[in-house]
Homo-oligomer: A and B are copies of this chain.
Amino acid sequence: MTIRKPTDERRREIADAAIRIIGERGLREFTAAHLAAEVGITDGTIFRHFKDMSEVISAALDRLPALMWAAAPASGDPLERLEAFVLHRLRSMAIQPGIQSLVFSDQISHALGGDGPARVAQLRNRSRDLLRSCLRDAAEQGMLRPDLDLEAAVVLVTGTVMGFLFALKDGALPAPASEMELRCWQTLRTALVRPQVVS
Protein backbone atom coordinates (compact mmCIF):
# COMPACT_ATOMS: atom_id res chain seq x y z
CA MET A 1 0.00 0.00 0.00
CA THR A 2 3.09 2.11 0.37
CA ILE A 3 3.73 4.51 -2.44
CA ARG A 4 7.35 5.24 -2.95
CA LYS A 5 8.38 8.37 -4.71
CA PRO A 6 11.69 9.86 -5.68
CA THR A 7 13.02 12.39 -3.26
CA ASP A 8 12.52 15.42 -5.48
CA GLU A 9 8.86 14.81 -5.89
CA ARG A 10 8.35 14.02 -2.24
CA ARG A 11 10.19 17.14 -1.20
CA ARG A 12 7.89 19.25 -3.29
CA GLU A 13 4.83 17.45 -1.97
CA ILE A 14 5.96 17.97 1.57
CA ALA A 15 6.82 21.62 1.04
CA ASP A 16 3.44 22.29 -0.51
CA ALA A 17 1.68 20.46 2.29
CA ALA A 18 3.60 22.63 4.71
CA ILE A 19 2.31 25.76 3.02
CA ARG A 20 -1.22 24.46 3.25
CA ILE A 21 -1.00 23.52 6.89
CA ILE A 22 0.65 26.70 8.04
CA GLY A 23 -1.77 28.78 6.08
CA GLU A 24 -4.92 26.98 7.02
CA ARG A 25 -4.21 25.70 10.47
CA GLY A 26 -1.30 27.72 11.79
CA LEU A 27 2.18 26.96 12.99
CA ARG A 28 0.86 25.17 16.05
CA GLU A 29 -0.55 22.45 13.85
CA PHE A 30 2.56 22.30 11.75
CA THR A 31 4.00 19.11 13.22
CA ALA A 32 5.78 16.22 11.62
CA ALA A 33 2.78 13.98 12.23
CA HIS A 34 0.24 16.34 10.68
CA LEU A 35 2.53 17.12 7.82
CA ALA A 36 3.03 13.44 7.12
CA ALA A 37 -0.68 12.75 7.32
CA GLU A 38 -1.36 15.57 4.85
CA VAL A 39 1.08 14.00 2.41
CA GLY A 40 -0.06 10.46 3.08
CA ILE A 41 3.10 9.10 4.61
CA THR A 42 4.22 8.50 8.19
CA ASP A 43 6.04 10.96 10.36
CA GLY A 44 9.43 9.33 10.39
CA THR A 45 9.57 9.51 6.63
CA ILE A 46 9.64 13.30 6.68
CA PHE A 47 13.20 13.11 7.97
CA ARG A 48 14.27 10.95 5.13
CA HIS A 49 13.67 13.94 2.89
CA PHE A 50 14.51 16.80 5.22
CA LYS A 51 17.11 17.13 7.91
CA ASP A 52 14.66 18.74 10.29
CA MET A 53 11.42 20.65 10.40
CA SER A 54 12.92 24.06 9.88
CA GLU A 55 14.38 22.79 6.64
CA VAL A 56 10.81 22.03 5.62
CA ILE A 57 9.76 25.59 6.28
CA SER A 58 12.78 26.69 4.38
CA ALA A 59 11.77 24.57 1.41
CA ALA A 60 8.24 25.91 1.69
CA LEU A 61 9.65 29.40 1.48
CA ASP A 62 11.60 28.40 -1.58
CA ARG A 63 8.41 27.26 -3.23
CA LEU A 64 6.78 30.62 -2.77
CA PRO A 65 8.22 32.57 -5.67
CA ALA A 66 6.91 29.97 -8.09
CA LEU A 67 3.48 30.26 -6.54
CA MET A 68 3.50 34.02 -6.14
CA TRP A 69 4.94 35.25 -9.35
CA ALA A 70 3.21 35.16 -12.63
CA ALA A 71 5.45 35.10 -15.62
CA ALA A 72 5.56 38.87 -15.49
CA PRO A 73 6.65 40.55 -18.70
CA ALA A 74 9.73 42.58 -17.94
CA SER A 75 8.91 45.03 -20.67
CA GLY A 76 5.81 46.59 -22.13
CA ASP A 77 3.56 49.33 -20.86
CA PRO A 78 4.69 49.96 -17.30
CA LEU A 79 1.19 50.77 -16.09
CA GLU A 80 -0.10 47.56 -17.53
CA ARG A 81 2.68 45.64 -15.89
CA LEU A 82 1.76 47.31 -12.65
CA GLU A 83 -1.87 46.42 -13.05
CA ALA A 84 -1.02 42.86 -13.92
CA PHE A 85 1.15 42.57 -10.87
CA VAL A 86 -1.41 43.99 -8.47
CA LEU A 87 -4.34 42.02 -9.77
CA HIS A 88 -2.36 38.82 -9.96
CA ARG A 89 -1.26 39.26 -6.39
CA LEU A 90 -4.75 39.94 -5.12
CA ARG A 91 -6.13 36.94 -6.87
CA SER A 92 -3.40 34.40 -6.30
CA MET A 93 -3.00 35.10 -2.61
CA ALA A 94 -6.72 35.23 -2.01
CA ILE A 95 -6.97 31.74 -3.44
CA GLN A 96 -4.02 30.35 -1.51
CA PRO A 97 -4.25 31.62 2.04
CA GLY A 98 -1.18 29.64 2.98
CA ILE A 99 0.96 31.92 0.93
CA GLN A 100 -0.39 35.01 2.57
CA SER A 101 0.33 33.45 5.92
CA LEU A 102 3.87 32.58 5.03
CA VAL A 103 4.63 35.95 3.57
CA PHE A 104 2.97 38.26 6.07
CA SER A 105 3.60 36.49 9.33
CA ASP A 106 6.85 36.99 11.14
CA GLN A 107 6.01 33.88 13.10
CA ILE A 108 7.56 32.08 10.16
CA SER A 109 10.70 34.11 10.39
CA HIS A 110 10.96 33.22 14.03
CA ALA A 111 10.31 29.57 13.33
CA LEU A 112 13.12 29.53 10.81
CA GLY A 113 15.57 31.22 13.09
CA GLY A 114 18.98 32.37 11.91
CA ASP A 115 18.58 33.99 8.55
CA GLY A 116 14.83 33.41 8.56
CA PRO A 117 13.79 37.03 8.95
CA ALA A 118 16.20 38.06 6.21
CA ARG A 119 14.84 35.50 3.80
CA VAL A 120 11.24 36.49 4.32
CA ALA A 121 12.23 40.14 4.01
CA GLN A 122 14.02 39.35 0.79
CA LEU A 123 10.90 37.72 -0.58
CA ARG A 124 8.92 40.84 0.12
CA ASN A 125 11.64 43.11 -1.14
CA ARG A 126 11.63 41.35 -4.45
CA SER A 127 8.07 42.56 -4.93
CA ARG A 128 9.10 46.05 -3.95
CA ASP A 129 11.91 46.00 -6.46
CA LEU A 130 9.59 44.98 -9.22
CA LEU A 131 7.11 47.68 -8.32
CA ARG A 132 9.79 50.28 -8.03
CA SER A 133 11.08 49.55 -11.51
CA CYS A 134 7.59 49.61 -12.97
CA LEU A 135 6.90 52.93 -11.34
CA ARG A 136 10.22 54.37 -12.42
CA ASP A 137 9.60 53.36 -16.02
CA ALA A 138 6.16 54.89 -15.89
CA ALA A 139 7.53 58.07 -14.38
CA GLU A 140 10.18 58.34 -17.06
CA GLN A 141 7.52 57.99 -19.69
CA GLY A 142 5.59 60.79 -18.04
CA MET A 143 2.66 58.62 -17.14
CA LEU A 144 2.62 59.45 -13.45
CA ARG A 145 1.88 62.58 -11.52
CA PRO A 146 4.95 64.75 -11.84
CA ASP A 147 5.15 65.24 -8.12
CA LEU A 148 4.62 61.61 -7.16
CA ASP A 149 6.87 60.34 -4.37
CA LEU A 150 8.13 57.09 -5.84
CA GLU A 151 9.15 55.40 -2.63
CA ALA A 152 5.93 56.31 -0.89
CA ALA A 153 4.10 54.98 -3.93
CA VAL A 154 5.81 51.65 -3.49
CA VAL A 155 4.52 51.56 0.06
CA LEU A 156 1.05 52.45 -1.13
CA VAL A 157 0.93 49.75 -3.75
CA THR A 158 2.28 46.95 -1.58
CA GLY A 159 0.06 48.15 1.20
CA THR A 160 -3.03 48.13 -0.94
CA VAL A 161 -2.42 44.49 -1.70
CA MET A 162 -2.13 43.68 1.99
CA GLY A 163 -5.06 45.89 2.89
CA PHE A 164 -7.21 44.10 0.38
CA LEU A 165 -6.22 40.63 1.49
CA PHE A 166 -6.82 41.34 5.16
CA ALA A 167 -10.14 43.00 4.40
CA LEU A 168 -11.12 39.94 2.43
CA LYS A 169 -10.16 37.66 5.27
CA ASP A 170 -12.02 39.79 7.78
CA GLY A 171 -15.17 39.86 5.69
CA ALA A 172 -14.83 43.62 5.47
CA LEU A 173 -15.29 43.96 1.74
CA PRO A 174 -18.71 45.45 0.93
CA ALA A 175 -18.89 43.84 -2.51
CA PRO A 176 -17.72 40.63 -4.16
CA ALA A 177 -13.96 40.28 -4.14
CA SER A 178 -13.80 40.26 -7.92
CA GLU A 179 -15.46 43.66 -8.03
CA MET A 180 -13.46 45.12 -5.19
CA GLU A 181 -10.21 44.06 -6.84
CA LEU A 182 -10.98 46.35 -9.73
CA ARG A 183 -12.26 49.19 -7.60
CA CYS A 184 -9.12 49.12 -5.47
CA TRP A 185 -6.93 49.04 -8.51
CA GLN A 186 -8.81 51.95 -10.07
CA THR A 187 -8.45 54.00 -6.93
CA LEU A 188 -4.80 53.17 -6.68
CA ARG A 189 -4.30 54.02 -10.33
CA THR A 190 -5.96 57.37 -9.96
CA ALA A 191 -3.64 58.11 -7.08
CA LEU A 192 -0.59 57.48 -9.21
CA VAL A 193 -1.20 58.68 -12.73
CA ARG A 194 -1.34 62.18 -14.15
CA PRO A 195 -4.74 63.69 -13.48
CA GLN A 196 -5.23 64.77 -17.07
CA VAL A 197 -4.54 61.31 -18.31
CA VAL A 198 -7.49 60.07 -16.38
CA SER A 199 -10.00 62.74 -17.09
Q: Which residues of B contact A187 (CB under 8 A)?
A: 148-149, 152-153, 155-156, 191
Would you call the interface of chain A mostly helix, strand, loop, or mixed?
helix
* Chain multiplicity (copies): 4
Q: Determine if A91 is an interface residue (Cβ-Cβ < 8 Å).
A: no
Question: Please, what's the 1-or-0 string for A154-175, where 1 marks a CB less than 8 Å from any CB in chain B?
Answer: 1111111111101101111111
Q: Which residues of B contact A166 (CB under 8 A)?
A: 104, 124, 158, 162
Contact (Cβ within 8 A) A158 B151: no
**Which residues of A come within 8 Å of B, CB atoms?**
25-29, 101, 104-107, 109-111, 121, 124-125, 128, 145, 147-149, 151-164, 166-167, 169-175, 180, 183-184, 186-188, 190-192, 195
Knowing that A105-B105, A128-B170, A151-B174 are A-B contacts, what are 17 other residue pairs whose CB atoms are under 8 Å apart, sorted by A's residue number? A27-B28, A28-B107, A28-B110, A29-B110, A105-B106, A105-B107, A124-B170, A152-B187, A155-B184, A157-B163, A158-B166, A159-B159, A159-B162, A160-B160, A160-B163, A162-B163, A187-B191
